[in-house]
Structure 1
Amino acid sequence: MEQAFHRFSELFAQLGLPSDESGIRHFIATHTPLPGDVELADAPFWTPAQATMLRDEIADDADWAEVVDQLNVALRAS
């Protein structure tokens, strides 16, 4: 089975967020740094649906897991 490769912009679109480069940069700048003791899906800025999607993708190691991991790292950078 071939694993899908998703871009950051596709993840942001899937989450219902602005998915252009400036929108992504703004989102990350606004929400960085995410404290180390807060799981990505538990961050207070997600809607319940967004949090569920992020949690499910990581738990299932689904198609989106790699790019969700990249988002996690980006939000923890200072």
Structure 2
Amino acid sequence: MTDNPTYKAELIGPTTLGNNEIIELPFIDGAYQDLVELRFEAGDTTSVRTWALGEGTVEPIPYNFVGEVDSAPPTVEN
């Protein structure tokens, strides 16, 4: 590790949204974060994508895609 409070991470998979994106993350208690969650909004839908810490010790640190949850407002007809 370094004396920097942040490190560079690369998000890997599954599609173009968030894929191979390099982001800067803060260390948590001096260690890499285990999970990264990012929100993406499109219209009335919010997607939360999750990446897990991969194997690697050279920045950017790889994070592999593990899941996505979409939420949209309910459609109620009167």
TM-score (norm 2): 0.21
Q: Looking at CA atoms only, which structure, 1 or 2, has the larger radius of gyration?
A: 2
Larger proportion of helix: 1
| Highest RCO, 1 vs 2 (Cα 8 Å, sep ≥ 6) | 1
Larger proportion of strand: 2
